[in-house]
Amino acid sequence: MNYWLMKSEPNAFSIDDLKKMPQQTEHWDGVRNYQARNMMRDAMKIGDQVFFYHSNCETPGIVGLMEVVREGYPDHTAFDPQGKYFDPKSNPEMPRWFMVDIKYLRHTRRVIPLSELKEQGALENMPLVRKGNRLSIMPVSQEEWDYILRIEG
């Protein structure tokens, strides 16, 4: 099993929004970055565990746990000329963008803020804590995953 971290702006889609979805499941659409696309298309597997991270908000940090319930398939929001995620270079015959389905598992017992994650030497290799990082989906090692759940308290 693999571990991941996915960012979302709570103003746009928060962990509470995910929890309220039917089956507490939603497709992770709108990702328009090739590295992140490749991870969803090729690497994320059913049963993989995922940290939900809130970005661009008052206290950026890890807020919950999720699970991959459907593996990579074309992001149809790229096909809708009226939608904000429309990409004329993507079409159903040759989809450029992919997404996975994600299911809510639980909130963390507290928000684990970015500021605290940055203080942990054990996490210094996470892209998340590195300066200027903008990856919205990233792999998390087993060691990092376990460590974060330990400091969750």
Partner DNA sequence: GCCAACGTTGGC
For DNA, the closer of residues 100 and 126 by Cβ is: 126
User: At its nearest, how many Å lie between DNA and the CB of residue 133?
Assistant: 6
Nearer to DNA, 69 or 95 (CB): 95
**How far apart are CB 107 and DNA at their closest, in Å?**
18
For 8, the token pair is 């979302």
Strand pairing class (137-140; 3-8) = antiparallel
Q: What share of the chain is helix, strand, coil (3-state, %, to 5)?
A: 30, 35, 35
Of 1 and 16, CB closest to DNA? 16
Would you say 22 or 88 has its CB closer to DNA? 88
- List residues near DNA by CB under 7 A: 7, 9, 32-34, 55-57, 60, 114-115, 118, 130-136
Give the nearest distance from C-beta 131 to DNA in angstroms.
Answer: 5
Q: Which helix (H) or strand (E) holds 16?
A: helix 15-20
Separation between Cα atoms, residue 127 and residue 139, nearest integer Å: 9
Distance linking the first and last C-alpha atoms of the chain: 23
Angle at Cα 40 formed by Cα 46 and Cα 38, nearest 5°? 140
Smallest separation (angstroms) from DNA to the CB of 117:
10
**Cα 99 to Cα 143: distance, rounded to the nearest angstrom:** 26
